[in-house]
């Protein structure tokens, strides 16, 4: 086919068989591409650095929160148990006499419905109304549920039994037999408010890094402690310059022959289980919990000052040999 001379005119002056050259500046040069990649890398690096920073900051916050929660949980448990220390009670429903007391002025051994939380030396309130009297238990038979005491009055079957007063040594005072110390807190009473007499012991060991707690039901003639439970595994020595002991005590006495612990302060230092992702160091924290008042012991001090010594219950023998 022969091209007509007017073909260029018919097609807008273009020669369809010969492509036009690309205009100058079409696409990116190598230099521009390299600059764009460099800028993108800078922006991406900054984004990743920011993400890494916030991840580490979040990890640091979580470490602090976990450390604080662990210490706070332990402190709340201690505060509750210190507050209950020294409480005297018997389980509900109140125990009663299963056999009558007919002998007066001499030791009698009636059977009772329950001897839970009773111990030799305890002052037991028997009966009600005009027939009520306070006796001191001189012996217990856990198998037959017999109690031994000298009764001044006769009592019928079903007469209720109860206890009054408090344990003045509910928080066992330092420098007494099996007393508390800077590394050990020892207390007893109806700690759980369920009528069960228990002995609780906290031990602080900054060398091993542990704070442990054992709780043992006080049973006559059974002098072994239950195994402790570990509450903290990240304990450290309290910092200088004070180097405060884990437990500190405010005492009053002796009054009526007793030394009363009127206040317990707890100072605990802990560190994180893992290193801080920002600094590479273990985070540490010291918390002090002051004015943990054993309210039942304070009541005992008031009774002692008022010479109401018949409301001060003696310390169970088990506590002196644990």
Residue 138 has pLDDT above 50, yes or no: yes
What phi and psi, each to the nearest 5 degrees, are found at residue 133?
A: -150, 155
- Which among 200, 189, 193 is positioned nearest to 119, based on CA atoms? 189
* Interatomic CA distance for residues 83 and 208, integer angstroms: 28
Distance CA 168, CA 172 (A): 9
pTM exceeding 0.75: yes
Judged by DSSP in three states, 33 sits in helix
Judge contact between 75 and 82, C-beta under 8 A.
Answer: no
- Lowest mean pLDDT segment, chosen from 48-52, 86-90, 118-122: 48-52
What is the radius of gyration, based on Cα positions, of the chain?
A: 39
Integer Cα distance of 276 and 299 in angstroms: 47
Concatenating the DSSP letter of every residue in 263-283 gives EEEEEEEEE-SS--TTTSS--
DSSP characters over 105-144: SSEE--BBS--TT--TT-EEEESSGGG-EEEE--EEETTT
- pLDDT (tens digit per residue) in 172-208: 999 998 899 999 999 999 999 999 999 999 999 999 9
């Amino acid at each position: 086919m022969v091209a007509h001379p007017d073909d260029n005119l018919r097609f807008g002056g273009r020669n369809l068989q010969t492509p036009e050259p690309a205009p100058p500046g079409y696409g990116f040069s190598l230099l521009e591409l390299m600059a764009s990649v460099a800028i993108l890398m800078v922006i991406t690096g900054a984004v990743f650095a920011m993400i890494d920073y916030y991840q580490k900051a979040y990890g640091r916050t979580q470490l602090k929160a976990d450390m604080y929660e662990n210490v706070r949980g332990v402190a709340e448990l201690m505060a509750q148990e210190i507050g209950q220390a020294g409480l005297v009670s018997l389980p509900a429903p109140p125990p009663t006499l299963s056999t009558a007391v007919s002998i007066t002025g001499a030791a009698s051994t009636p059977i009772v419905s329950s001897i839970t939380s009773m111990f030799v030396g305890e002052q037991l309130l028997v009966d009600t109304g005009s027939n009520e009297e306070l006796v001191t238990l001189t012996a217990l038979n856990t198998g037959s549920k017999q109690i031994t005491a000298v009764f001044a009055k006769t009592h019928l079957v079903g007469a209720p039994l109860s206890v009054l007063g408090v344990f003045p040594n509910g928080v066992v005072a330092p420098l007494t037999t099996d007393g508390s110390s800077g590394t050990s807190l020892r207390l007893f009473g109806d700690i759980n408010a369920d009528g069960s007499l228990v002995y609780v012991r906290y031990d602080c060991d900054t060398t091993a890094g542990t704070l442990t707690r054992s709780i043992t039901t006080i049973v006559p003639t059974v002098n072994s402690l239950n195994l402790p439970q570990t509450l903290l595994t990240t304990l450290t020595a309290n910092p200088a310059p004070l180097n405060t002991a884990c437990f500190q005590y405010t005492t009053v006495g002796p009054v009526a022959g007793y030394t009363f612990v009127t206040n317990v302060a707890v100072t605990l230092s802990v560190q994180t289980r893992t290193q801080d992702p920002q600094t590479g160091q273990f985070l540490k924290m010291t918390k002090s919990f002051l004015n943990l008042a054993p309210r039942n012991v304070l009541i005992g001090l008031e009774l002692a000052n008022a010479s109401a010594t018949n409301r001060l219950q003696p310390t169970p023998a088990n506590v002196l040999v644990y």
